[in-house]
């Protein structure tokens, strides 16, 4: 069957699997794992990708990530090509390291986000590399257990969805007896994992969006938002990380990117942040809005102000 084209739209959740060519090992030494992780961090920042989970196995890679305005292909091309060049140089190899085209499954967040985070972080246990997931150094599981952000993964949003570190750890431990889950790979139309009709819905939203009207200048939009939030734009750009200012800054960023269509990179520059920081803020507030209707209404109100 012919390969179907990739599906891309801002905010999609992807389960990416990249396997070694002919099942060969893609990581031979500890420095190889570190080299790949360094590239994830580099290209995540460059392309505004949000990582929810990751696991580097000896001959394949699992990533659970969310895109913003740039296609997944740009991120993966940077990581895969750069690492292959490194691997061939260090180990005196030539040719392809990874097996053809990586698999990128678009996943429905509501039923699958939690389950996939657990499934990915339990890969080393299922493969009998370790007895407990926290014993494996090349996954995001330890980051969730500590609650401290790294240059790859900020667990704050995910832990808020789980209900804290203890709830996350219990959820993962409850899955220790699970084996391979075929349902995560037997996907609709080769590309979609979700409830019935999810794939068609994603494609319809992607293909049938009306042409957007011209947006007002970003600086003008930020001033309008700041006025509505009763702060000066300088406050939103300030280094202040207090709860109140952080909340207002996150609301402003979410409104500008997700509701009004400004690019992550341009909003990041306008607010004096990097794209990865803004992407992380967007991920956190998107999770919050699933349970906090007040925040959701506030974002809707702010979007209308910007559109005026």
Q: What is the pLDDT of residues 287-298, one digit of tens each?
A: 676 677 788 788
More confident residue, 302 or 234: 234
pLDDT above 90 covers a percentage of the chain that reads: 39
Q: How far apart are CA 168 and CA 165, in angstroms?
A: 5
Can you read off the two tokens belonging to residue 118? 């657990």
Torsion angle of C-alpha atoms 271, 272, 278, 284, degrees rounded to 10: -70
Output the CA torsion sign for 242, 141, 45, 9.
Answer: negative
Confidence of residue 142 (pLDDT cuts 50, 70, 90): very high
**Domains of the chain with CATH codes:** 13-205 (3.30.70.1290), 212-307 (1.10.1750.10)
Residue 295: the pLDDT is 81
More confident residue, 192 or 173: 173
pLDDT tens sequence across 241-299 = 888 898 899 889 888 887 777 877 788 888 988 877 887 777 777 767 667 778 878 88
201 phi and psi angles, rounded to 5 deg: -65, -45
Confidence of residue 192 (pLDDT cuts 50, 70, 90): low
Can you read off the two tokens belonging to residue 225? 């938002």
Is residue 55 classed exposed, middle or buried when 0-12, 13-18 and 19+ CB atoms within 10 A define those classes? buried
């Amino acid at each position: 069957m012919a390969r179907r084209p990739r599906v891309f739209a801002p905010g999609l959740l992807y389960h990416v699997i990249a396997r070694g060519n002919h099942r060969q090992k893609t990581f031979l030494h500890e420095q190889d794992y570190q080299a790949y992780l360094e590239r994830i961090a580099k290209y995540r920042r460059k392309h505004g990708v949000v990582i929810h989970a990751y696991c580097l196995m000896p001959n394949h890679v699992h990533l659970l990530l969310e895109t913003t305005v740039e296609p997944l292909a740009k991120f993966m091309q940077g990581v895969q090509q750069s690492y292959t060049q490194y691997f061939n140089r260090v180990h005196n190899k030539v040719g392809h390291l990874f097996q053809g085209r990586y698999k990128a499954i678009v996943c429905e967040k509501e039923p699958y986000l939690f389950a996939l985070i657990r499934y990915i972080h339990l890969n080393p246990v299922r493969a009998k590399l370790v007895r407990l997931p926290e014993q494996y150094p090349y996954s995001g599981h330890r980051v969730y257990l500590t609650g401290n952000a790294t240059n790859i993964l900020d667990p704050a949003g995910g832990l808020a969805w789980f209900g804290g570190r203890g709830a996350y750890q219990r959820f993962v431990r409850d899955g220790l007896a699970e084996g391979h889950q075929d349902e995560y790979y037997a996907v609709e139309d080769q590309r979609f994992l979700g409830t019935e009709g999810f794939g068609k819905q994603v494609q319809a939203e992607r293909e049938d969006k009306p042409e957007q009207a011209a947006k007002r200048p970003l600086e003008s939009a930020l001033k309008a938002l700041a006025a509505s939030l009763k702060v000066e734009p300088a406050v939103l750009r300030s280094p202040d990380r207090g709860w109140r200012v952080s909340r207002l800054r996150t609301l402003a960023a979410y409104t500008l990117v997700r509701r009004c269509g400004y690019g992550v990179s341009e909003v990041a520059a306008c607010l004096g942040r990097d794209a990865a920081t803004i992407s992380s803020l967007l991920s956190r507030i998107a999770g919050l809005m699933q349970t906090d209707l007040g925040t959701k209404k506030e974002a809707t109100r702010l979007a209308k102000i910007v559109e005026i």
